[in-house]
A and B are shown apart, each in its own frame.
Chain A
Amino acid sequence: MIFDSYEAYKQAGFKPKACILGSGPAGTTIARKLGAAGIPVVVLEAGSREFSDESQDFYRGTTVGDYYFDLDITRLRFMGGSSNHWAGWCRVLDRQDFEPKAWAPDTGWPISRADIEPFLAEVRDILELPAFRPDVQVSDDIRWVQLIKSPAVRFAEKFADELDKSGNIAVVLNTYATELMGDGKRVTGAKLWSNGQDAGIFTADYFVTCTGGLENSRLLLWSNQRSNGGVVPNATALGRYWMEHPTFEGGNAILANYSEFQVDASNEAFFSPTPAAMERLQILNFGIRVIESPYPNVKRLIADLACTAPNMAEWMSAQLDQRLHCAAQLYVAWEQAPLASNQIELSRTDVDHAGVPRIELHWKKSPLERRTLLEGLKLFGATLAQKNLGRVRIDEWISNGGDYPNNEETAGHHHMGGTRMGTDVLKSVVDANCKVHGMDNLYVGGSSVFCTSGQCNPTTTITALACRLGEHLGKVIAV
């Protein structure tokens, strides 16, 4: 069932056991799991079926620190959430992304990759993915990694009919919770806002916030402030350890034979460090995206190389006669160190139309990440040279410690952390089952529970965690 307003929903007399806030990949997946288990669930979606400026305006905010995207363009507030603009790139976090690293404080999850692997077949079905392929070790330091370019499932498009026909799932559009109310043990209700006005208080046995990697923190921070700590009793880490995937062009490469790189249909290939290399160099995970360059770039690069390494340039020139596909741009995206100082705060001066403080995002890249960027490119360059697969040139601003350019991709629009998973209540917000510490009936879905970011796009892992949470919650509610 899909309703366009809370008023219409109320008239239907639906009695849900659980309330999910948000209809993006996490919210929709959890709702479908609960619905399939025979559990009545309501999904509150703040936006409508389509994009609107009025709805997006609720997402405006400010960023303090490094340059970042405007907060109202880096996510979408309508049915299907940010799945409406994602690129569809898919990969699950690596095994080592879940493990603590002695050289990077506050890393490590309370679960391992094995805990989400049982759900990957389901994830493939939801995201329409081919089989996952194992990594291929290229050298002791570098591995080829699969990054699937999927059809970019728009969750509203794909599941609207199913949700509409479901007797167990009610989706209420143009409706959301401005705040949750709680007594330090349970969420006792949610103050609703529907179609631009106060819609009263809503109650359910269970609440799951799936409003996104920025908005989950905002909702819980505001709710906790209003209820004097009654919604997140252990709130030290709330809003903190926020992460992105910084992304910049890192250099170029001249490649002897591009076909050796297991390129995908877009003529791109992806590489990451081996766990041993990360440990030896004490760096974080990263992904190097190799993109074939047009032929004129090859000539320019070889002219540059000739000044430095005439022997190599001569050999490459000879190769050019036979094969033109041998120059590439290198883009690097990397894992961000989880830092408590990278955090979502509530603005003290600016509120949205419903009176909820807007987000003030504090975000800076760390020296460890800067070293990861440089050492990562060096590792990749050394592997290509050792294997005689090609040669890499690192951009000058990286080699010389220059400022990050502000005319590039900057980051991946991947919002992670803020309500991270863990066992230490001082450094986490939810437990291994995504339940808020100290609360009996409040859960969090989505990338805000990520403890570390890994290097890959988060939607696949978000969906796997949502399948896991949906299954867990189904058992909890059924008892």
Chain B
Amino acid sequence: MSSFMKRISRRAIVQALIALPALSLFRNQPAVVDPDEIIEVNGWILRRSDLA
């Protein structure tokens, strides 16, 4: 066992494991796409939802 693991308690390890799912909150979120956003494609003025 490493000296690091010897210094932390089992309680702290369990708390860290419980908190792990929350880390996903800090990941880069994919941009929310607004289907009503007005965009210009090939000269057409469209709503984003018009695109396949």
Contact = CB atoms under 8 A, between A and B. Distances in A.
A and B bind:
yes
Interface of A: 251, 305, 307-312, 377-378, 381-382, 384-386, 388, 391-396, 399
22 contacts: A305-B44, A308-B42, A310-B52, A311-B51, A312-B46, A312-B50, A381-B40, A381-B44, A384-B45, A385-B38, A385-B47, A385-B50, A386-B36, A386-B47, A388-B47, A391-B45, A391-B46, A392-B45, A393-B42, A394-B45, A395-B43, A399-B43
B14 interface: no
A141 B47 CA distance: 17
B20 interface: no
A50 to B, nearest CB: 48
A332 to B, nearest CB: 14
Contacts of B43: 251, 393-396, 399
Contacts of B38: 381-382, 385-386
A380 to B, nearest CB: 8
A302 to B, nearest CB: 11
Nearest to B46: A309
Contacts of A381: 38, 40, 44-45
Given A386-B38, A386-B47, A394-B45, 13 more contacts: A309-B46, A309-B51, A310-B52, A377-B45, A381-B44, A385-B38, A385-B46, A392-B44, A393-B42, A393-B45, A394-B44, A395-B43, A396-B43
A385 B42 CA distance: 15
B49 A311 contact: yes
B41 A378 contact: no
A271 to B, nearest CB: 14
The 8 closest A-B pairs by CB, nearest first: A381-B45, A312-B50, A309-B50, A310-B52, A382-B38, A392-B45, A308-B42, A394-B43
Nearest to A381: B45
A308 B40 contact: no
A398 to B, nearest CB: 8
Contacts of B42: 307-308, 393
A385 B47 CA distance: 6
Interface residues of B, number: 14
A310 B46 CA distance: 11
B47 to A, nearest CB: 5
Nearest to A396: B43
A316 B17 CA distance: 53
Contacts of B44: 305, 308-309, 381, 391-394
Nearest to B40: A378
B52 A311 contact: yes
Contacts of B36: 386
B31 to A, nearest CB: 20
B35 to A, nearest CB: 10
A399 B45 CA distance: 11
Residue among B44, B47, B49, B52 with most chain A CB within 10 A: B44
A471 B41 CA distance: 55
Nearest to A251: B43
A381 to B, nearest CB: 3
Interface string B18-29: 000000000000
Nearest to A310: B52
Contacts of A251: 43
A308 B45 CA distance: 11
Contacts of A378: 40, 45
Most buried by B among A251, A308, A394, A396: A308
A235 B35 CA distance: 58
B36 to A, nearest CB: 7
Contacts of A312: 46-47, 50
A308 B52 CA distance: 9
A384 B50 CA distance: 13
B3 to A, nearest CB: 61
